[in-house]
């Protein structure tokens, strides 16, 4: 058991309006009681309405940021979000292996809530072949899972159960396949590892303020992994996400898909 708050690192892109990316990760880490650190992979010009452009940083500079953190600070968990391109994906994997990183959560960010692409097409194979096997847990939604597996993600719950096994075969220790894009009154997520599947069901919350839900959930899991078993970390992170979604109406941010209320427990 840690005697101090866990130090958790996010490796991701930015969001100037604060609802997704590194800004959402930092808020989520903090809300879950962790000390937040960050490495920037890309600077993104986006708001609640969509992504206008992004500039990926040089892979060597991303690696230098990672080295600067690990050479000075104990890192208890790592969340990986937007990697932007193949060179950055390879650099992240190489540096994390070099430093012996643990409790790695990969949110395979490919498409923003607005539908804008955040990953170069040629980088999909690098994410699937290099980053996915490095992860302790991956957290794809259905479209992202479809890209990773090369199939159309029009799945029933039974098909989700089968494809969770296919995702696990790519090499991560755990898969959290999120069912938010599926139909029905309940949203069902599947946590799978080594022949065991746990279902988490929650009522859908009618809100347009859902910008950054994937970032928030994966960051909350990363913040909890140093202290909890995976199943308990996922359960607590999902409870936090539900609360942040339910309280999002309290905020007045933007005219598109607004952000979650990351600090709903505090103000």
Q: What is the secondary structure of 183-208 as a DSSP string?
A: -SSEEEEEEEETTEEEEEEEEPP--S
Q: What is the pTM of this model?
A: 0.96
Average pLDDT over residues 197-205: 92
**Both tokens of residue 90?**
């390879």
| pLDDT reported for residue 76 | 98
- Which residue ranges make up each domain of the chain? 7-248
113 vs 2, more confident: 2
**Mean pLDDT computed over 215-225:** 98
Give the tens place of pLDDT for each residue, 9-47: 999 999 999 999 999 999 999 999 999 999 999 999 999
User: Among the listed ranges 9-23, 119-133, 176-190, which one has the minimum average pLDDT value?
Assistant: 176-190
How far apart (Å, rounded) are the C-alpha atoms in residues 228 and 104? 14
Mean pLDDT across the stretch 42-67? 96
> Any idea which of 16-20, 162-166, 203-207 has the lowest mean pLDDT?
203-207
What pLDDT band is residue 186 in, cutting at 50, 70 and 90? confident
Pairing of strands 35-47, 104-106: unpaired
What's the mean pLDDT in 198-205? 92
pLDDT for 180 beyond 90: no
Q: What is the pLDDT of residues 85-114, one digit of tens each?
A: 999 999 999 999 999 999 999 999 887 665
Domain at 7-248: CATH code: 3.40.1190.20
How far apart CA 32 and CA 6 sit, in angstroms, is: 10
In this predicted model, what pLDDT tens digit does every residue of 242-265 receive, in sequence order? 999 999 999 999 999 999 999 999
């Amino acid at each position: 058991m840690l005697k101090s708050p866990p130090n958790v690192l996010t490796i991701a892109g930015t969001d100037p309006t604060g609802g997704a990316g590194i800004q959402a990760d930092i808020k989520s880490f903090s809300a879950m009681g962790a000390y937040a650190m960050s490495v920037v992979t890309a600077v993104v010009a986006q708001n609640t309405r969509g992504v206008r452009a992004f500039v990926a940083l040089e892979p060597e500079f991303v690696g230098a940021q990672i080295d600067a953190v690990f050479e000075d600070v104990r890192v208890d968990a790592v969340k990986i979000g937007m990697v932007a391109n193949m060179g950055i994906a390879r650099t992240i994997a190489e540096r994390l292996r070099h430093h012996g990183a643990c409790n790695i959560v990969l949110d395979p960010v490919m498409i923003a809530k607005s539908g804008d692409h955040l990953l170069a097409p040629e980088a999909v194979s690098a994410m699937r072949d290099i980053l996915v096997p490095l992860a302790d847990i991956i957290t794809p939604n259905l479209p992202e899972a479809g890209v990773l597996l090369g199939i159309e993600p029009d799945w029933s719950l039974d098909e989700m159960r089968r494809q969770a096994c296919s995702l696990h075969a790519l090499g991560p220790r755990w898969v959290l396949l999120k069912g938010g894009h599926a139909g029905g009154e309940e949203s069902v997520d599947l946590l799978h590892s080594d022949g065991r599947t746990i279902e988490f069901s929650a009522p859908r919350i009618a809100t347009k303020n859902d910008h950054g839900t994937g970032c928030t959930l994966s960051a909350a899991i990363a913040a909890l992994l140093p202290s909890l078993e995976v199943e308990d970390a996922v359960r607590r992170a999902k409870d936090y996400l539900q609360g942040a979604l339910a309280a999002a109406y309290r905020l007045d941010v933007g005219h598109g898909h607004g952000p979650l209320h990351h600090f709903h427990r505090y103000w």
